[in-house]
Chain A
Amino acid sequence: MVQTLSGRPRPLSPNIQIYRPQLTSVLSIANRITGVALSVYAVALVIWLLAVAAGPDSYAVAHTFIRSWLGQILLFGGTFCFFMHFCGGIRHLAWDAGYGFSLRAIYASGWAVVAVSIALTLLTWAIEFAVAGYGR
């Protein structure tokens, strides 16, 4: 415990080297990791917009890269990061509004984030492959 000026002890953060990972801590750091990853995808979004603005030739280059194996793998990872951060973010907003703080609710919403993120990622790519068609 750390002593403050008021004399009231303040809690310390857990020492992560000896702290057993659990759903709550894993999702906490996952929200940060996916957030940092998504900032790289935000750069890619701007590059894509610049490519469209520059004309058909540069768009074709971007299109070819996105359609390549590397592009598709990166896009799949980005889709998962997006849904993870999206769902995790909504969970955080609910907490900020004062809801869902019981241990039961925290674990229920945590597993819901995991399940919904995976489901939406797979659904998105199922639509991409089945409806939009691959390799146009």
Chain B
Amino acid sequence: MNRGAMRTPLGRALGLGSARDGVEDWWRERVSAVALVPLTGWFAVSILAHAGDRYPAVISWLRSPVTTTLLVLLLIALFYHTALGLQVVIEDYVHSRAKFPALIGVRLGCIALAVAGIVATLVIAFGA
């Protein structure tokens, strides 16, 4: 998404809207939302189908290549969307000195959780 492609020439001429990366963040939040519609829909139906499953049944479900692929995609889109969403909430409501530590913490936390979730998924898929 190149800078300003989503903005009108009039808005730019009048100096309205985001001064920096707001348009890009706005766009990325929506792209991740579009990805999450089928991914979370699939996950909700699947997890309901496996509700109450014992360990072997859960493992055999999670180990199928389709499940592993969709789960990794879900984790990426989910934590990308979460990072952007929480960033907006912090920017809107936190005006104290805690703002920047909170923004950095949310970003790093989302990256760490996404990596942990993906590694766990791959360990389940390829582990002994």
Contact = CB atoms under 8 A, between A and B. Distances in A.
Chain B, interface SS category: helix
Interface in B51-82: 51-52, 55, 58-59, 62, 71, 75, 78-79, 82
Interface residues of B, number: 36
Nearest to B6: A96
A59 to B, nearest CB: 5
B30 to A, nearest CB: 6
A45 B117 contact: yes
Given A59-B55, A82-B44, A53 B85 contact: no
Interface residues of A, number: 36
B121 A49 contact: yes
Contact of A46 (B33, B49, B55, B116): B116
Interface of A: 4-6, 8, 32, 35-36, 38-39, 42-43, 45-46, 49-50, 52-53, 56, 59-60, 63, 67, 82, 86, 89-90, 92-93, 96, 124, 127-128, 132-134, 136
